[in-house]
Amino acid sequence: MITLNNVSKTFTTKDGEVHALRDVTLTIEKGDIFGIIGMSGAGKSTLVRCLNFLERPTSGAVLVDGRDLSRLGGKQLRAERRNIGMIFQHFNLLMQKNVVDNICFPLRIAGTPKAAAKKRAQELLELVGLTDKASAYPIQLSGGQKQRVAIARALATNPKILLCDEATSALDPQTTKAILALLREINERYGITIVIITHEMAVVREICNRVGIIGEGRLVEHGSVIDVFSHPQSQEARELVLRNTGENHDLVETLETKNCVRIVFSENSSYEPVIANMVLKFGAPVNILRADTKNVSGIAHGEMILGLPEDREIARGMIKYLRERNLAVEEVTGYVG
């Protein structure tokens, strides 16, 4: 379990102070796959580095399984880091060492004898499905293979926590899916708590059970992925849910001027033709701007963006009508930007 209490991080640059994190308080439970999402520059990379003290918070406490990292000395902190694996966007493998030696590296740091380290590396290569690449060098591997090696390396010392800093951002969508599947398998098989930093809502939807949203250094919202996806509370969350990795930039722009709502159907939504009945009831047409089905934590969720009639009275009535039928309704108008 990881607990952050009022963690702040301020960098002093020549242009003045930069508040990368402001008063973040958060608990990540054991076995969680916790997503931390935010726009670039929001402070999420700083946040993940505070979890293993690669960055020391300016104030506040980080507790890992009850141990306050700020109270550990250099040697104790290095020992603690063996319980916290980390993978990176650009893999960060040792380019002059082959795959096996890369995986053995953390074990050698921990003082594991060579033979035992090799044996452990072999097990890990089986886990990540790269037994045939044992003596290859990183340059000979594809991006997905490099990240698998990095995962094997991060798991070598049997950590309880795995931190992923934009681990799939340099990969194509298919490889991303495969890597996320591997991470989920690791989480299920070994009960390792995984913290995923990403700017892609798709990654969070695919794999995380809980999510925290970071905006301008603050944790603006956190909760279960389904809740945040269905009922985003903060402006940042709505934007991320809607923007969906940049594919809807134009749509978002047009929505600013229209009287729109986003509705989410969960699996228990009735099979009643809600939209059609609503149109019949109010005698006014609605414009379906987008309709989609998304897999959120393994459950299909329908998502639809409707342009409501300009008449405020009718629009309000429609929103009420939809809410009465247990649909999550978010007003879209005017919040973007």
Interacting residues toward other proteins by CB under 8 A: 52, 54, 74-75, 78-82, 84-86, 88, 90, 92-98, 105-106, 108-110, 137-140, 150, 153, 157, 163
CB-CB contact of 204 with 211 (8 Å): yes
All residues at 6 or more sequence positions from 55 whose CB lies less than 8 Å from its CB, including other chains:
9, 46, 49
CB of 130 to other proteins, least distance (A): 17
Q: Which one, 52 or 198, has the nearer CB to other proteins?
A: 52
Residue nearer to other proteins on the CB measure, 95 or 288:
95
Q: How far is the CB of 67 from other proteins (least distance, A)?
A: 14
Q: Which among 336, 332, 337 is positioned nearest to 258, based on CA atoms?
A: 332
Which residue, 98 or 230, is less far from other proteins as judged by CB?
Answer: 98
Our CB check for other proteins shows the closer of 49 and 210 to be: 49
Amino acid at 48: V
Q: In angstroms, give the least distance from the CB of 157 to other proteins.
A: 7
Residue 314 CB, nearest approach to other proteins (Å): 56
Min dist. Cβ of residue 15 to other proteins (A): 17
Residue among 317, 332, 305, 251 nearest 279 (CA): 317
Q: Cβ closer to other proteins: 30 or 78? A: 78
Give the β-pairing of 260-265 and 210-215. unpaired
Geometric angle at alpha carbon 278, from 256 and 225, rounded to 5°: 55
- Are 110 and 157 in contact, with CB atoms under 8 Å apart? yes
Return the residue matching tokens 């507790």: 63
